[in-house]
Amino acid sequence: MANLAGGAGAPGELLADRPDGTVVRVGDKVAKAHAPDTDVPALAVRLHLASSVVCRGILLPPLPGPCPAPLPGGRVASLWPHGRPVDPHDAAQAPWEAAGTLLARLHELPLSHQLPGPLPVMRGPAKAARAVARMRGAPHTAHRAAARTVERAWATLPAWCRDEEPAPYTGTLCHGDFHLGQLVRHPAPAGPWHLIDVDDLGLGDPAWDLARPACWYAAGLLEPAAWARFLGAYASSRRAAGTTTGLAAADPWPHLDAAARALTVQSAALGVAKATAGNRGLDDAEEAVVAACARIAGLHDRTEQPFVQGP
């Protein structure tokens, strides 16, 4: 990995080491070894799109070279310029307006660009289903009640949110896994914000990209003012581009509801699985999303009201 980043003989800084990828920084370059089960042709299409002129100023482009590059053992890697990430300890400076604007610009992109293969489907629902499967595979002792609550909420979701059917709408280019950790300033340290991590990029429902912040807001984990900054910037940018319906409408909540429920269940399932693996109690954020799952199940049982309510 360090050799791929041009750092032979130089120590690399491990930024992340998870089942879905290992990320190493060497100087001003970052190398990512993608998961062993990566769909390499689909990744090649995603990387090609990220490097294209249509995505300039929206997605951080990979560095020139083999893309993806083969690694020993059969895995593949991609190489990126280093950017400065969001400071997780400075919530007041979180770039919510920039995030909303970047997602809006991504969702407005035309899909006529020449690519080396078909544009893949956005992988968001597949990741939600994988999170629930991970929770089911954990030996629940202390968290059996929480797991049952998550399952009840999961059962209320539309089949497409559970990755059991194709999404009813797949006409928009989506990031597929948006959160603030997917933003960096480039050039570092004070360049414009860019979206990173194209592993889940593809065609899908744009509500999925707004759904994690919507989940946090509905669960009480995101301040209403921050949510308003994010949603306001997103809607303003879409309207400026000529879109006035769907997520850019005066009331976007009906379009957000299903995806927000799904991201809530995904977050809760991961929380239960991680707490079980770590032999610990649920932390405050995990408790909040499990409680939100109880609300989802209760609303479905009683009235079918939207989970996310507008101001």
Per residue in 189-202, pLDDT (tens digit) is 999 999 999 999 99
Q: In which band, very low, low, confident or very high, does the pLDDT at 304 lie, cut at 50, 70 and 90?
A: low
Mean pLDDT across the stretch 245-254? 94
Q: What is the pLDDT of residue 302?
A: 60
* DSSP result, 104-130: HHHHT--S----SSPPPBP-HHHHHHH
pLDDT exceeds cutoff 90 at 142 = no
Q: In which band, very low, low, confident or very high, does the pLDDT at 311 lie, cut at 50, 70 and 90?
A: very low
pLDDT exceeds cutoff 70 at 8 = no
Higher-pLDDT residue of 222, 117:
222
C-alpha distances (whole Å) from 275 to each of 201, 280, 287 are 29, 5, 11
**Residue extent(s) of CATH 3.90.1200.10 domains in the chain:** 88-311
Q: What is the pLDDT of residue 156?
A: 96
Mean pLDDT across the stretch 198-224? 96
Q: For residue range 76-96, what is the model confidence (pLDDT) as tens digits?
A: 999 999 999 999 989 889 999
Q: Enter the tokens of residue 251.
A: 């009331």
**Residue extent(s) of CATH 3.30.200 domains in the chain:** 1-81
Class for domain 1-81, per CATH?
A: alpha beta
Burial zone of 201 (CB within 10 Å; 0-12 exposed, 13-18 middle, 19+ buried): buried
Other Cβ atoms within 10 Å of 196 Cβ, number: 19
Mean pLDDT across the stretch 117-129? 94
Mean pLDDT across the stretch 65-75? 90
* Average pLDDT value for the chain: 92
Q: What is the pLDDT of residue 63?
A: 96
Q: Enter the tokens of residue 218.
A: 């509905």
Q: What is the pLDDT of residue 20?
A: 82
Q: Which of 41-45, 168-172, 224-228, 267-271 has the lowest mean pLDDT?
A: 168-172
Q: Enter the tokens of residue 181.
A: 């950790």
Q: Enter the tokens of residue 307.
A: 């989970």
Q: What is the pLDDT of residue 141?
A: 74
Mean pLDDT across the stretch 103-129? 91
Placement of tokens 């109880």 in the chain: 294
pLDDT exceeds cutoff 80 at 6 = no
Domain 88-311, second-level architecture: Alpha-Beta Complex (3.90)
Q: Within 13 Å and on the Cβ side, how many CA atoms surround 72?
A: 3
